[in-house]
Amino acid sequence: MFFEGDRIKAVREMILADDLEGRKAALAKLIGHQKNDFLAIFEEMRGLPVTVRLLDPPLHEFLPSEPQQIKEMADIMGCSEDTINDKIKALHEINPMLGLRGCRLGITRPEITEMQTRAIIEAACELTQKGVKVFPEIMVPLVGNVNEFKYQEKIIRETAAKVFEEKGINVEFLVGTMIEVPRGALTADEIAEHAEFFSFGTNDLTQMCLGYSRDDANKFIYDYIDKGILEKNPFRSIDQTGVGQLVEIAAKRGKKARPNIKLGVCGEHGGDPASIDFFHRTGLQYVSCSPYRVPIARLAAAQAAINNDVVRQIKQTAEDAYSKAETTAKDVYSKAGEGLKNLKETVENSEFRKTVEEGAKKAGEEAKKFFDDIKKKIKKD
């Protein structure tokens, strides 16, 4: 989306600009391209929700690296190649995946969030006016603190309100976040008070939870598997015991704070059958993955739904049978107790009791007479 044609030059110009005005001038060159992208996407997906993740990659991925590219940027920006090289060095990061990326870009450079939001909402408004149903979902990446989300959400909603006023039309849209930082998962209840959906970014969540660099893990991960330390590559199939707990915690806390929150997963795990089964059991509603994994993901999602529904049905049947048996047993016991009580009352209050008592008294008198006669006979003899 940002590397095609002249777009990458505008992106580089924005990154290398000395001030806000320079960055805005560069972004003005990008917004038309972005808007056209979203027009095409929304048109293609008419009637279906479209989740748009705001700019996420580290800035170094966009910077020029070849001498010709550096010279080109120097000409565009009217400065020397040494100046461009100095700016590139100043932007260098030791650990870019944990550096200036995700929502941190939108917080330090809010004009980026404004530009992307305007492009999304303008495209949605224009298609809505043409009768095309559009459901945009704007996703703030790499949130670990609720205040990061609130800062970005404010920019998004204020920008959208301006566009609605300009266009004379409103379009419903959602604002949510990617849960890909462990702290974000643990504080999901706070974030869900503001975010309308979660998409679990399990690629980053895995590397931050396990402390494994996704880009470097292949140097040791298969030794770990061969030696029985790991069962499988955690970047291909979700680590249900560790990373999975973070997903479960975030899903549970998110639902508690916002019962109707939309939950999904975005990453390579979204195309792994075992992972999809886990996500289904955890209560996630959709998966997103690379295009070539979509057929597998669809089949795995269907299998997970069927298998887990069967298990639930068996469990429910067993619970229903136990409940019914328990109710029957209690009813029988209650009726038996009532019968014994009635029998006791019948015996105590009826002629039967009187007859029994008279018979017992008569039998006692006859027995006494019998023994008295025997005593008399013994004395006589």
- Confidence (pLDDT) at 371: 62
Instruction: Please give the backbone phi and psi of residue 124, each rounded to the nearest 5 degrees, phi first.
Output: -65, -40
Dist. CA 281–CA 273, nearest whole Å: 12
pLDDT in tens, 159-173: 999 999 999 999 999
**3 state SS for the chain:** CCCCCCHHHHHHHHHHCCCHHHHHHHHHHHHHHHHHHHHHHHHHCCCCEEEEECCCCCHHHCCCCCHHHHHHHHHHHCCCHHHHHHHHHHCCCCCHHHCCCCHHHHHHCHHHHHHHHHHHHHHHHHHHHCCCCCEEEEEECCCCCHHHHHHHHHHHHHHHHHHHHHHCCCCCCEEEEEECCHHHHHCHHHHHCCCCEEEEEHHHHHHHHHCCCCCCHHHCHHHHHHCCCCCCCCCCCCCCCCHHHHHHHHHHHHHHHCCCCEEEEECHHHHCHHHHHHHHHHCCCEEECCHHHHHHHHHHHHHHHHHHHHHHHHHHHHHHHHHHHHHHHHHHHHHHHHHHHHHHHHHHHCHHHHHHHHHHHHHHHHHHHHHHHHHHHHHHC
- Confidence (pLDDT) at 334: 72
- Confidence (pLDDT) at 269: 92
How would you class 246 by CB atoms within 10 Å of its CB: exposed for 0-12, middle for 13-18, buried for 19 or more?
buried
- Confidence (pLDDT) at 24: 94
- Confidence (pLDDT) at 149: 98
- Confidence (pLDDT) at 36: 95
- Confidence (pLDDT) at 301: 84
- Confidence (pLDDT) at 236: 93
- Confidence (pLDDT) at 304: 86
- Confidence (pLDDT) at 298: 85
- Confidence (pLDDT) at 291: 81
Dist. CA 127–CA 133, nearest whole Å: 7
Dist. CA 191–CA 147, nearest whole Å: 9
- Confidence (pLDDT) at 348: 61
Which residues of the chain register pLDDT less than 50? Answer: none
Average pLDDT, the chain: 88
